[in-house]
Amino acid sequence: MTQYTCDFNLKDNLIHLNHAAVAPWPVQTQLAVQAFAEENVRQGSLNYLQWLEHEANLRRLLKTLINADSTDEIALLKSTSEALSVVAYGLDWQAGDSVVIAAEEFPSNRILWQSLEQFGVTVRQVSYQTDDDAEQLMIHACDKTTRLISVSAVQYASGRRTDLEKIGLHCEQNNILFCVDAIQQLGALDFDVNKVKADFVAADGHKWMLGAEGLALFYCRKKHLTTLKLHQYGWHMLENPHDFDATDCSPAQSARRFECGSPNTMGIIALEQSLLLLESVGLANIEKIILDNTRFLIEQFSNNPNLEVLSSTEPARLSAIVVVRHKQMPSSELFDYLKQHHVLCAPRGGGIRFSPHYYTPRDKLEQLVKLLAF
Ligand SMILES: Cc1ncc(COP(=O)(O)O)c(C=O)c1O
């Protein structure tokens, strides 16, 4: 058992290597949600005003996690897809505008931009798989018509880490908006919204941040807060949400303007606890352990002549995700075999995706390596 495993309570025989899909909750998250359930059962919303403190605290934790300038730039939405949609449908597109994305993006970060073709927007897709300097290809794909680049910080199916700073600098210098899907990075690898010069960031909490599904961070840089058009309306987005008799119904000046109705308090309490745990371990520490795990798996898999590592092995490209293929066995069969041996992973990117977190004991990774030694 590593010093961190005791914060979790996974079944002993389970090899959980699927944080890039849906993460297990830490024990302290379970206890906080149980306490909230108990409170609801026993006294309903008697302490509703205290619930709001969790919301404020979560905004502070997320601000710190991405190094935003202010909690006013943080909205709590229901998913990455919803946050990206707030951007895509909040901008004022003109026929002839273009958007540049990576061709291998998760559907949410692709079909959304393609849906803008109905307004005469062109979507240029740049393949990330063939070229080591795909960022340069993305930059080359931009021209005077380009309004926005949208890219994942880490690609979901290959684990390839994007050089966000390079793209962000180009965007800044050329007046192009920069939108980052950071769901495969936040909670696992360091991320600084100002360093990468992102205008918008979207990330649900149920992967590396170890929260529950249904609660996502949406970061909107201050200067864009009031320029994104609003498409959802409700009491919670107003400047004074609890003054129901107010005649002035102006939307909040902060990113709360994107949160139309009642907050997901249970999800907020869960993510707050999970982020408190990550904060106590320290993101730099977490990143170091995760990259050590990744290097260990790549090295072990590379020693097996029947395995092919599909993820990039370039140091700057490493993330928490390793994808591997067995040369003698179709990935669907390999996936079934691993499942029978209690390995939780995912068939992705033409192979099997393994995504351990910082607390994953090394002996679980060694067990995996042994299971693949044929
Ligand atoms: C890169 C990426 N973006 C978006 C999503 C979907 O996120 P959500 O369900 O929060 O919309 C996923 C889920 O796997 C993903 O890997």
Token pair recorded at residue 90: 């909040």
Domain regions of the chain by residue span: 5-17+282-371, 30-280
**Any idea which fold 5-17+282-371 has?**
Aspartate Aminotransferase, domain 1 (3.90.1150)
DSSP assignments along 33-86, one per residue: HHHHHHHHHHHTTTTHHHHHHHHHHHHHHHHHHHT-S-GGGEEEES-HHHHHHH
Q: Given the structure tokens 């691993």, which residue do they identify?
A: 338
DSSP at 162 = P
Q: Whole-model pTM above 0.95?
A: yes
Which one-letter amino acid corresponds to residue 45?
S
Which one-letter amino acid corresponds to residue 10?
L
Residues 183-224 pLDDT 10s:
999 999 999 999 999 999 999 999 999 999 999 999 999 999
Nearest atom within ligand 1 for CA of residue 156:
16
Burial of 150 (0-12, 13-18, 19+ CB in 10 A): buried
Predicted confidence band of residue 131 (pLDDT cuts 50, 70, 90)? low
The hierarchical CATH code for the domain 30-280 is 3.40.640.10
Strands 177-181 and 200-204: parallel
Give distance in angstroms: CA of 156 to centre of ligand 1: 8
Residues 50-106 pLDDT 10s:
999 999 999 999 999 999 999 999 999 999 999 999 999 999 999 999 999 999 999
Q: Is 156 in the pocket of ligand 1 (CB under 6 A)?
A: yes
| Residue of 78, 81, 112, 185 to test ligand 1 pocket, by largest number of atoms within 8 Å of CB | 81
Q: Is 183 in the pocket of ligand 1 (CB under 6 A)?
A: yes
pLDDT at residue 247 in the model: 84
